[in-house]
Chain A
Amino acid sequence: MDIFIQQIINGLVLGSIYALVALGYTMVYGILGLINFAHGEVVMIGALTALTAIGLLVPAGLPGPVVVLGGLLIAIPVCMAVGFAIERIAYRPLRNAPRLAPLITAIGVSIVLQQLAMMGWGRNYHTFPPLLPATPHQLFGAAITDLQMLIVVVAAVLMAALVWLVTRTRLGRAMRATAENPAVARLMGVDVDRVISFTFVLGSALAAVAGVMVAANYSIAHYAMGFMLGLKAFTAAVLGGIGNLGGAMLGGLLLGIIESLGAGYIGDLTGGFLGSNYQDVFAFFVLILVLVFRPSGLMGEKVAERA
């Protein structure tokens, strides 16, 4: 089996998930100039909600994919509601506060959501039942499972739909106008508060899907899973250029591939001193390099613009 190709495939799968989460960070940043650190927690809530729903649906004896779809369809509205509530309760009252206030609040919200999840779902790992076909297929000398293909395809479809929404629809135009100049957008008749709410809800829906993907991919979910995942997706957004949709997608995929390749080769590179469990290191290595050498990211414009 070709390790290189295999790691690229794994990286694409992982990267698709990062990209979906990174889009949530980047959309909110684009419109409010705020880093919503609680976004990773929304992913976690999506994963655990879906797992709970799946647990309830399994005894009904429906086919596996239908059960997973059912879990997803419950997780999505739950996450949308959570995203909506986060903005309404935690960020909106601070809309005109100094920039540090919403940032600290974001961290607070993240901790609160994590603790609530721990109280609701416990400290244990929840396993994702094997409901989806995991048959490996051969591809360029490497293996890809149905689940992996599904993740990549669904992520691609969702991202295409998002790009269409943002660039081609009236609502998307209002989002872009609001991101650029909310006061003038309001003058044009845009209900800026609603556009901001919508942005959170949309990002949270993507986060729900990403949460189910992570849980299915690793067969596991946990109340603290959102922290690392959120930080990595944030890294992906920064890598691509935060505020830029294309950048979040590119950053997500790149980060997934970098991490995967890194995990695949780190043992060889360090003569076996470091194992693939050090894979998390790469994301932060990338974050540091980007912040030092190209703070505006690969596709971003001047980052100081909104600061």
Chain B
Amino acid sequence: MLQVRGLEVHYGGICAVRGVDLDVAAGEKVALIGANGAGKTSALKAIARMLPARGTVRLDGADIADAPPHSLVGQGLALVPEGRGVFARLSVRENLEMGAYVRTDRAAIADDIERVFSLLPRLRERAGQTAGTLSGGEQQMLAIGRALMSRPRLLLLDEPSMGLSPIMVATVFEVIRTVAQEGVTLLLVEQNARLALSLCDRGYVMESGEITLNAPSAELLDNPAVRSAYLGE
């Protein structure tokens, strides 16, 4: 479904992503783990065309380099950005409506808002509140709910556990698991490697802008290098 070849991101003189190759098959759940500053966010942003980058990104075989960035959501790609990126001055409901911005099927949008509310009941209680007044965990739920509103086939998540209490993390991951079970393909960036690998089928390890390992989750969880560097053992 997603095929990335030779991805490179530069910030001025700094090279944050150096020739990354990455594949995600339809229905697969893939983790991308790595230390702070490894280039995970940069890679995700480049895939979603939020940053200028070199290399090719193919979505279902089609090169998306020339498509305008705002057309990606229509092709089934959604990103839950690092730091959530909810529209703080819009209400929770309006944020969800923004997620469905490119859709025109009004009745189905209303149904999907209901579906998000049943998946994330906390949001229903807060529907009329501006998103800026939500707690961090609630904002994360909203960011995920908003991404789901586009009915994505490929969902990119950037550190959904960041800054959340353990209980909130468990809730958010439960939601992600549910979404994946419904057939959405996942590419999950996480600091919390154990959590990410326990959810995903396969993982990439990124170091200083390069992919250094690519293996099934079970294998990575057993890998001594991974254990000492990312699992704190």
Q: Which residues of A contact B (CB under 8 A)?
A: 170, 173-174, 176-177, 180-181, 183-192
Provide the residues of chain A in CB contact with B68, threshold 8 Å: 191
Q: Which residue of B lies closest to A172 (CB)?
A: B94
Checking B48, B88, B98 against A185 with a beta-carbon cut-off of 8 angstroms, the contacting residue is B98
A126 to B133, CA, bound (A): 53
Contact in complex: B87, A189 (CB < 8 Å): no
With contacts A187-B48, A188-B98 taken as known, whether A181 is within 8 angstroms of B87 at the C-beta atoms is yes
Contact in complex: A188, B88 (CB < 8 Å): no
Q: Which residues of B contact A (CB under 8 A)?
A: 48, 50, 68-74, 78-79, 81, 85, 87-90, 94, 97-99, 101-102, 146, 150
Contact in complex: B79, A187 (CB < 8 Å): yes
Provide the residues of chain A in CB contact with B74, threshold 8 Å: 189
> Apart from A180-B87, A184-B87, A186-B50, what 6 extra A-B contacts exist at CB < 8 Å?
A187-B50, A187-B73, A188-B98, A188-B150, A189-B74, A191-B68
A183 to B52, CA, bound (A): 13
Checking B70, B85, B88 against A189 with a beta-carbon cut-off of 8 angstroms, the contacting residue is B70
Q: What would 15 A/B residue contacts be, using CB atoms closer than 8 Å?
A: A170-B101, A173-B98, A176-B87, A180-B89, A181-B85, A183-B81, A184-B85, A186-B69, A188-B70, A188-B102, A189-B70, A189-B71, A189-B102, A190-B98, A192-B70
Q: Which residue of B lies closest to A179 (CB)?
A: B89
Q: Which residue of A lies closest to B73 (CB)?
A: A189
Q: Which residue of B lies closest to A184 (CB)?
A: B85
Provide the residues of chain A in CB contact with B81, threshold 8 Å: 183-184, 187
Provide the residues of chain B in CB contact with A188, threshold 8 Å: 70, 73, 98-99, 101-102, 146, 150
Whole-angstrom distance between the Cβ of A198 and the nearest chain B Cβ: 14
Provide the residues of chain B in CB contact with A173, threshold 8 Å: 90, 94, 97-98, 101
Closest 9 CB pairs of A and B: A189-B102, A189-B73, A184-B85, A188-B101, A189-B101, A186-B70, A188-B98, A177-B87, A180-B87
Provide the residues of chain B in CB contact with A187, threshold 8 Å: 48, 50, 69-70, 72-73, 78-79, 81, 85
Whole-angstrom distance between the Cβ of B125 and the nearest chain A Cβ: 22
Contact in complex: A180, B73 (CB < 8 Å): no
